[in-house]
Amino acid sequence: MKRIFMGLFSIILFLVSACINNTTSGENYSASDKAKWYLDAIETIQTKYTKIRIAVIYHDRWENSDGSWSDLRINSSPEALQAFQTGISSSYFIGKEYLSNPLSFPDNNCFTGVFPGWGEFEDSVDTNSLENFEALSGKSAAFCPFSVFFGRNYVSDQNLQCISEYGAIPLLRFMPWGEPYWEAGYQENYSLVRIINGEFDDFLIDWAEVIAAFETPVFVTFGVEMNGNWFPWSGIFQGAGITNEFGDSLLADGPEKFKSAFRHIVNLFNEHEASNIIWYFHVNNKSFPDENWNDAVNYYPGDDYVDWIAVSVYGAQYDDEEWMIFDEEMQNIYDELTNTFPNKPLMLAEWGVKEP
């Protein structure tokens, strides 16, 4: 039955793709390219990247410094929306209605999720946005991320409650940075060494107690996409590939500091009995710089500290980026992560592409 269904679904995708292809002319990118990107992603998740158990679409847009817009919303064009709706309608993708207690993850399905951006600080969660996305996409979201910026220095269960009221599972992302946000570069006030030395323990303990009191499962990570070069906690800004200023003289300092900070946080939360946390390790699909010391797996804190592996896989987000289909963006990191961590479930923690 599964083979028959997948065969029919592939025919539907082919017909939609054919209609979209007919709208494309010349060598310039058009709205149909994003639609084709979605179709490729959704089909290969079902047929090739079958170890993905959760897929969280990025659904927001932002204005760039030159006045242009990066529009990653699923409804950035009618063609993109049609493609996303068609693909996600497959019964392979399941929403919040299929969440169980305790959580279970069927081998032949992938849970849906959405990250609507939530504003400049990624923490303005509201249930209306989740309900609107469900109405727009035609499928509910089972998982929803939001961020906790250290510089905001607040502790509250409000976002956890909003996501729970909608019926989804929260994905909480601890982000060690302060103002100015969204600027690459080292921030001394939020360095990994300061975290390791316990200078943020009071703040983290308060969060551990809030999450523990929440009781239902919460996925938590620290320092997403650390193998990139756009966040202050990235290895490139925390010692990079030098080996003689921190820890083991045979290991690159940037990744080693990250691992130590991650372990410190997990140990702290365990001491305060936040047993409802599911810890995930969230890398980028490509490393910047692309050097051996900065390989994503070098940041892995260890099996005792990580329950899930997660990855961000984006197509072009800016006008000057090369246009590559999802399959091209996913193949190498999928192989690396599934071969290195064969016993850890895999999450596509962020995925999307701009409107050309």
* pLDDT tens digits, 318-343: 999 999 999 999 999 999 999 999 99
Q: What angle do CA 158, 161, 163 make, to 5 degrees?
A: 110
In a domain, residue 254? The reply is yes
Q: Are residues 241 and 320 in the same domain?
A: no
pLDDT at residue 18, as a whole number: 45
Query: Can you tell me whether residue 15 is helix, strand or coil?
Result: helix
- Please name the amino acid found at residue 254: G
Residue appearing with tokens 């990624």:
122
Domain count, the chain: 2
Cβ atoms 299, 283 nearer than 8 A:
yes
Q: Last residue of some domain: 306, 330, 348?
A: 306
pLDDT at residue 31, as a whole number: 58
The crossing angle, in degrees rounded to 10, of helices 201-214 and 158-166 is: 30
- Residue 161, phi then psi, degrees to nearest 5: -65, -40
- Residue 88, phi then psi, degrees to nearest 5: -75, -15
pLDDT at residue 70, as a whole number: 98
Distance (Å, whole) CA 180 – CA 24? 41
Q: Are residues 200 and 87 in the same domain?
A: no
Q: Are residues 294 and 194 in the same domain?
A: yes
Q: What is the pTM of this model?
A: 0.92
Q: What angle do CA 343, 113, 318 make, to 5 degrees?
A: 100
Q: Are residues 292 and 332 in the same domain?
A: no
Q: Last residue of some domain: 266, 284, 306?
A: 306
Cβ atoms 147, 231 nearer than 8 A:
no
Distance (Å, whole) CA 120 – CA 154? 15
Q: Last residue of some domain: 283, 306, 329?
A: 306
pLDDT at residue 194, as a whole number: 99
Q: Are residues 52 and 114 in the same domain?
A: yes
Cβ atoms 140, 96 nearer than 8 A:
yes
Q: Is the dihedral of CA 314, 320, 322, 324 positive or negative?
A: positive
* pLDDT tens digits, 9-66: 443 444 445 444 443 333 444 558 999 999 999 999 999 999 999 999 999 999 999 9
In a domain, residue 191? The reply is yes
One digit per residue, the tens of pLDDT, for the chain of length 356 reads 333 334 444 434 444 454 444 433 334 445 589 999 999 999 999 999 999 999 999 999 999 999 999 999 999 999 999 999 999 999 999 999 999 999 999 999 999 999 999 999 999 999 999 999 999 999 999 999 999 999 999 999 999 999 999 999 999 999 999 999 999 999 999 999 999 999 999 999 999 999 999 989 999 999 999 999 999 999 999 999 999 999 999 999 999 999 999 999 999 999 999 999 999 999 999 999 999 999 999 999 999 999 999 999 999 999 999 999 999 999 999 999 999 999 999 999 999 999 99
Q: Are residues 19 and 45 in the same domain?
A: yes
Distance (Å, whole) CA 207 – CA 155? 6
- 3-state DSSP: the chain helix, strand, coil percent, rounded to 5? 40, 15, 40
In a domain, residue 68? The reply is yes
Query: Can you tell me whether residue 240 is helix, strand or coil?
Result: coil
Distance (Å, whole) CA 344 – CA 342? 6
Q: Give the residue among 68, 77, 9 at the shortest CA–CA distance from 39.
A: 9
Cβ atoms 235, 258 nearer than 8 A:
yes
Distance (Å, whole) CA 302 – CA 17? 42
Q: Are residues 183 and 251 in the same domain?
A: yes
Residue appearing with tokens 């995925």:
351
- Please name the amino acid found at residue 263: R
Q: Are residues 110 and 212 in the same domain?
A: no
In a domain, residue 244? The reply is yes
Whether omega before 301 lies within 30 degrees of 0, making that bond cis, reads no
Strand-pair partners of 171: 145, 219
pLDDT at residue 199, as a whole number: 99
Q: Are residues 8 and 131 in the same domain?
A: yes
pLDDT at residue 215, as a whole number: 86
Distance (Å, whole) CA 318 – CA 65? 11
pLDDT at residue 121, as a whole number: 97
Cβ atoms 222, 261 nearer than 8 A:
yes
In a domain, residue 165? The reply is no
In a domain, residue 294? The reply is yes
> pLDDT above 90 covers what percent of the chain?
91
Whether omega before 180 lies within 30 degrees of 0, making that bond cis, reads yes
In a domain, residue 151? The reply is no
Q: Which pair of structure tokens corresponds to residue 331?
A: 């193949």
pLDDT at residue 14, as a whole number: 44
In a domain, residue 140? The reply is no
Distance (Å, whole) CA 196 – CA 263? 9
Domain extent for 180: 176-306
Q: Are residues 284 and 331 in the same domain?
A: no
Q: Which pair of structure tokens corresponds to residue 95?
A: 């929403």
pLDDT at residue 2, as a whole number: 32
Distance (Å, whole) CA 34 – CA 47? 20
Question: 156: left (phi > 0), else alpha (psi -120 to 50), else beta?
Answer: beta
Q: Are residues 321 and 296 in the same domain?
A: no
Tell me the CATH number at 238: 3.20.20.80
Q: Are residues 103 and 7 in the same domain?
A: yes
